[in-house]
């Protein structure tokens, strides 16, 4: 609420402008907070992050707090469009701009990068690494011990690869992975650390997981964007005719869904076992434990026109001692896969995720992956 009647009216008008209908930082609709020092309209969740940077931003509720005339005039003069044109003037194309669905560390570092460090106000200010190399320590979860240990990681743009070393002075890396088979995704809950990052890569066409974190949110988000940057530059060379936006869509991706389901074996008479499932685009992987390094198995989920479908429920007469009541059947050209979910909400979420990819046509690369899965089975 604003001081005078005129001020209140102006505040409402500015708030109602189309440019201010989405949070300036995460895109959430209908923001009802604003920063009186930056002049942006933001959501409640982003206002909490702004509040932690009081030297840069003072946040107030548009509904509950008092706005004086000068503050209303400031908001009227700025607003999301003007402020973005300043603080988001030069965002590198590979830089990941989080939305309201993303985790805290990504959103907080995005806000700090914009307003506190002003990384995007000038061209070429964002330096994730120098001389084509980023080197540093990340705490990596041991495959067998489950303990996190400091490990030296090295990302090389020239070589187009990511390496890590078990000993500080080791000459040979423990892994040396080509950048185009890497995916990185923040997994704070699963890893049990707010800065937890899961890096997956393909080896012999099978998925491998490593779990890392750094106590500095800036450092772990810098690693994430550095991986995206190296991938971007690698793919630019590999696909010179692809547009920047096409290449951007091929950088790191979030998993479509994760969670527990029960599954049975190919005869469909085996006991159902509880497994952790990860749907990474068309790869449905299952693990005994969510933090396992290797999947126990992987299923390729193709497109409807190639004979893939998903159905609610299990085929009638399915035997086996499943304990969860909400069944899902995935039909592939070769066999049926039967799963059960604990809740109906879970069942619907999974079916929505599967339907989404089954309805998409397959790319040439995906035909090659499908052929590999068929050859293997």
Residues of this chain that interact with Zn ion (CB under 5 A) are 23, 25-26, 28, 43, 46
Q: Which is nearer to Zn ion, 48 or 194 (CB)?
A: 48
Residue 344: CB partners within 8 Å, gap ≥ 6? 326
Q: Which two tokens stand for residue 116?
A: 């506190």
Q: Which is nearer to Zn ion, 107 or 140 (CB)?
A: 107
Question: Hunting for tokens 């070589």 — which residue is that?
Answer: 159
Q: Which is nearer to Zn ion, 65 or 102 (CB)?
A: 102
Work out how close the CB of 45 gets to Zn ion at its nearest, in angstroms, rounded to a whole number: 5
| Eight-class DSSP state of 270 | S
Q: Which is nearer to Zn ion, 27 or 136 (CB)?
A: 27
Q: Which is nearer to Zn ion, 28 or 274 (CB)?
A: 28
Q: Cα(69)–Cα(75) distance, rounded to whole angstroms?
A: 10
Q: Cα(49)–Cα(106) distance, rounded to whole angstroms?
A: 11
Work out how close the CB of 42 gets to Zn ion at its nearest, in angstroms, rounded to a whole number: 5
Work out how close the CB of 47 gets to Zn ion at its nearest, in angstroms, rounded to a whole number: 8
- Confirm if 151 and 137 have CB atoms less than 8 A apart: yes
Q: Which two tokens stand for residue 120?
A: 């995007």
Q: How far is CA 17 from the centre of its chain?
A: 30
- Confirm if 276 and 289 have CB atoms less than 8 A apart: yes
Work out how close the CB of 131 gets to Zn ion at its nearest, in angstroms, rounded to a whole number: 36
Q: Cα(174)–Cα(197) distance, rounded to whole angstroms?
A: 19
Q: Which is nearer to Zn ion, 29 or 124 (CB)?
A: 29
Work out how close the CB of 299 gets to Zn ion at its nearest, in angstroms, rounded to a whole number: 36
Residue 307 burial (CB count, 10 A): 11
Question: Hunting for tokens 């009647």 — which residue is that?
Answer: 5
Work out how close the CB of 222 gets to Zn ion at its nearest, in angstroms, rounded to a whole number: 22
Q: Which is nearer to Zn ion, 27 or 297 (CB)?
A: 27
Work out how close the CB of 244 gets to Zn ion at its nearest, in angstroms, rounded to a whole number: 26
Nearest alpha carbon to residue 199 among 159, 151, 242, 235 = 151
Q: Cα(261)–Cα(272) distance, rounded to whole angstroms?
A: 9
């Amino acid at each position: 609420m604003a001081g005078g009647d005129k001020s209140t009216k102006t505040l409402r008008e500015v708030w109602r402008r189309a440019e201010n209908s989405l949070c300036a930082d995460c895109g959430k609709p209908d923001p009802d907070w604003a920063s009186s020092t930056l002049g942006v309209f933001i959501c409640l969740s982003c206002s909490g992050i702004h509040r932690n940077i009081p030297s840069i931003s003072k946040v107030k509720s548009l509904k509950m707090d008092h706005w004086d005339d000068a503050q209303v005039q400031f908001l009227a003069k700025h607003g999301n469009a003007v402020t973005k044109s300043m603080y988001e003037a030069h965002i590198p194309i590979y830089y990941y701009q989080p939305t309201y669905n993303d985790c805290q560390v990504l959103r907080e570092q995005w806000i700090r990068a914009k307003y506190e460090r002003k990384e995007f106000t000038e061209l070429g200010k964002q330096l994730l690494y120098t001389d084509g190399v980023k080197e540093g320590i990340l705490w990596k979860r041991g495959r067998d011990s489950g303990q996190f240990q400091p490990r030296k990681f090295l990302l090389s743009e020239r070589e187009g690869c990511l390496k890590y070393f078990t000993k500080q002075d080791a000459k040979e890396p423990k892994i040396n992975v080509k950048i185009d088979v890497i995916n990185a995704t923040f997994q704070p809950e699963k890893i049990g650390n707010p800065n937890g990052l899961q890096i997956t890569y393909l080896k012999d066409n099978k998925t491998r997981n490593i779990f890392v974190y750094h106590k500095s949110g800036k450092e772990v988000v810098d690693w994430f964007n550095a991986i995206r940057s190296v991938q971007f530059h690698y793919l630019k060379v590999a696909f010179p005719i692809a547009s920047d936006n096409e290449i951007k869509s091929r950088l790191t991706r979030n998993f479509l869904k994760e969670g527990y389901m029960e599954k049975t074996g190919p005869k469909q008479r085996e006991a159902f076992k509880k497994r952790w499932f990860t749907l990474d685009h068309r790869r449905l992987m299952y693990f005994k434990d969510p933090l396992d390094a290797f999947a126990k198995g992987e299923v390729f989920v193709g497109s409807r026109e190639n004979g893939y479908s998903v159905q609610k429920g299990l085929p009638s007469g399915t035997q086996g001692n499943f304990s969860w009541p909400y069944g899902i059947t995935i039909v592939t050209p070769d066999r049926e896969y039967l799963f059960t979910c604990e809740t109906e909400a879970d069942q619907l979420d999974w079916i929505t995720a599967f339907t989404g990819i089954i309805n998409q046509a397959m790319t040439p690369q995906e035909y090659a992956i499908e052929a590999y899965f068929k050859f293997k089975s």
